[in-house]
Amino acid sequence: MTKFLIVKAIDRFLPWINSSFFCFLQSIVLFSLCNYNAIAARLSLIDSDTKIEEIEITNSDEVEFIIIPIGINVGNRNVIASALVKGAEDGNEAINFPQWLIPFNDVVEVLKLSINEQEDGFWQINAPGIVTLINSEKLVEDPDLGLAVTVEQIQKWLNVPAEFDLLEYAIVFNPPWLEFRGKSKFREEIPVVVDGLPLVSPRAFTLTTIGQSIDVNRDFKEDAQNNSSFDFNGELTAIGTLLGGSWYINAKQDDLRKFSSWSLNEAQWWLQSESIDYIVGSQPTFGRGGGEGDYWGVTAVRRWGFEPQKISSSGFNPGQRFRANQVNRTVTGKALPGTLVQLVTFRDHVIREVLVDESGVYYFENIPVKGEKYRVFLYRDGILTAEPEIELVRFSDIPELLPKGGSVLTLSSGLRRKQEENFIGQFRDLGLGIGYRRGISEDWTVGVNLFHDNKSLRSLGEG
């Protein structure tokens, strides 16, 4: 009925239309009306509440990636002239570019990455501007490219934008660290290797240095005959080796015109090693003891768990040999997982760095603290180009501290010497001493010294 009324209306109101045009128009209308039921049936499948833009249009034809020879650029610089990747393009633009596959080794070369394998299949990726942790199992094992990574993974993991340049026919990476200049890394001292070198045994006795000094002083106090006088005195010093140790002698002569004016100031033989020292002769008083005259005796110093301080003066100094050359500490703190933590000196040298795991706690162990101060730089998400959070590291640096578990035992016996008119002097007042010191923790060292002579028993506690 509807079809008939429409046709009659056209015949009534458009009589001026010629027959050929009318027949063409009538055929279009009749064709539309014939397909009306089919169109209505399809539209009835869509819910009346559904908006047109909510209808999902799918394309059953999937794009098949093929192997493409293509260049790889970093910024404006070409790094790889031709690399094999898997992707597709239509002559105008890349198709599904985020899913393009690039060989992982090519990405490592182009972005200058270093890989540190961790536990449970995780890899720590170190780039000039970022340090991050990735799951190696999420990389793609492609039968043609081998181990590969998608463009989307590169952008997500390394924060590196990428684009397809059709004119240069290249993949262009634009890492944010192109103009970034990071801190210098601390280089550990390379040990000297002496394996295979011939061993030369020293002589039992050598004289390496001998010195003589003479002083002339004029006394301007005139005597009864108006004559002034001159004083002549001298000093003799000799250094050498004896039985694997070193010896040192110092003597003075108050009057060069009198041979009997010679007197012995110091005489010492010292055998030292990393763990034990032996000292015979003149030496500083053991255990800070008192008494008249200088101390001459035999002392043994035994150390466990640390190296003594380097000698900064001639002769034996018990204060240096009782102390550790270096006390290492532990620096610890908390940060968000994924944060890169760098331990930095005030000269901007990176000593250590670590990527914070899920525990949110970081550690730096065995950090030398003697004569050095540190800061901690915290980089959120490992992005080195971002502004870091800076914290100061504070700990005590007392010279007497020993490392945790380190200890030193000292035994000494000797006499007091009083200078007299003869060359050697007079020895008296036998003394015996013992001392022990131990590192309880990184910040606490305890010790005790006992010294007994003919006059008293003295003790000294340390802590």
Phi, psi angles (nearest 5°) of residue 380? -65, 130
233 in any annotated domain: no
Whether 71 contacts 83, CB under 8 Å: yes
Asked whether 166 and 332 are in contact (CB, 8 A), the reply is: no
The amino acid sitting at 268 is Q
* Residue 335 and residue 319 in one domain: no
204 vs 244: CA distance, rounded Å: 7
Q: Report yes or no on 55 lying in a domain.
A: no
| pTM for the full predicted model | 0.59
Domain match, 283 and 418 both: yes
* Collapsed DSSP state (helix, strand, coil) of residue 285: coil
- Asked, for residue 34, whether it belongs to a domain, the answer is yes
How far apart CA 114 and CA 379 sit, in angstroms, is 19
Please count the other Cβ atoms lying within 10 Å of the Cβ belonging to residue 442: 17
Give residue 443's region: left, alpha or beta (phi > 0; psi -120 to 50): alpha
pLDDT per residue rounded down to tens, the chain (463 residues): 444 334 344 444 444 344 444 444 444 443 443 444 433 433 333 343 433 333 333 333 467 899 999 999 999 999 999 999 999 999 899 999 999 999 999 999 999 999 998 878 889 999 888 899 999 999 999 999 999 999 999 999 999 999 999 999 999 999 988 877 766 665 666 777 878 888 887 788 998 888 888 887 776 555 555 555 677 888 899 999 998 889 999 998 888 778 777 888 889 998 988 889 999 998 887 655 555 568 899 999 999 988 887 765 556 666 677 788 778 888 999 999 999 999 998 888 888 999 998 899 999 988 887 767 899 999 999 998 888 999 998 877 677 788 888 999 999 998 888 877 788 888 888 888 898 999 988 888 888 888 887 766 666 656 5
- The Cβ of residue 312 has, within 10 Å, a number of other Cβ atoms equal to 7
378, part of any domain: yes
Which residue in 152, 102, 111, 104 sits closest to 130, CA to CA?
Answer: 111
**What is the token pair recorded at 203?**
């002589």
Q: Is 265 helix (H, G, I), strand (E, B) or coil?
A: strand
- b/e for 150-177, b at 16 or more Cβ within 10 A? bbebbeebbbbebebeeeeebbbbebbb
**Domain stop point among 181, 205, 233:** 181
Q: Is residue 226 part of a domain?
A: no
Q: Give the end of a domain, one of 342, 360, 393.
A: 393
What is the pairing mode between strands 361-368 and 262-272?
A: unpaired
Do 314 and 417 lie in one domain? The reply is: yes
260 domain residue, yes or no: no
Q: Which residue stretches of 148-189 are H helix?
A: 151-158
* 34 and 163 part of one domain: no
What total number of domains does the chain contain? 4
What is the token pair recorded at 161?
């934008």
Q: Which domain holds residue 357?
A: 328-393
433 and 357 inside one domain = no
HEC sequence for 185-223: ECCCCCCCCCCCCCCCCCCCEEEEEEEEEEEEEEECCCC
Tokens of 212: 């003589």
Residues 6+ apart with CB under 8 A from 298: 278, 279, 280, 412, 413, 414
Please indicate, yes or no, whether residues 309 and 410 belong to a single structural domain of this protein.
yes
Mark whether 44 and 148 lie in a shared domain. no
Asked if residue 200 belongs to a domain, the reply is no
Within this chain, do residues 75 and 139 fall inside the same structural domain, yes or no?
yes
450 in the same domain as 362: no
Specify whether 8 is located in the same domain as 85.
no
| Tens digit of each residue's pLDDT (9 = 90 or more) over 152-179 | 999 999 999 999 999 999 999 999 888 7
Distance CA(266)–CA(268), nearest Å, equals: 7
End of a domain among 393, 419, 443? 393
Judge whether 294 lies within some domain. yes
Residues 307-355 pLDDT 10s: 887 765 556 666 677 788 778 888 999 999 999 999 998 888 888 999 9
Residue 79, Cα to own-chain centre: how many angstroms? 30
Give yes or no: residues 36 and 171 share one domain.
no
Tokens 């690039």 correspond to: 102
- Characterize 344-371 residue by residue with b for buried, 16 or more Cβ atoms within 10 angstroms of its Cβ, and e for exposed: beeeeeebbbbbbeeeeebebeebebee
Give yes or no: residues 164 and 22 share one domain. Answer: no
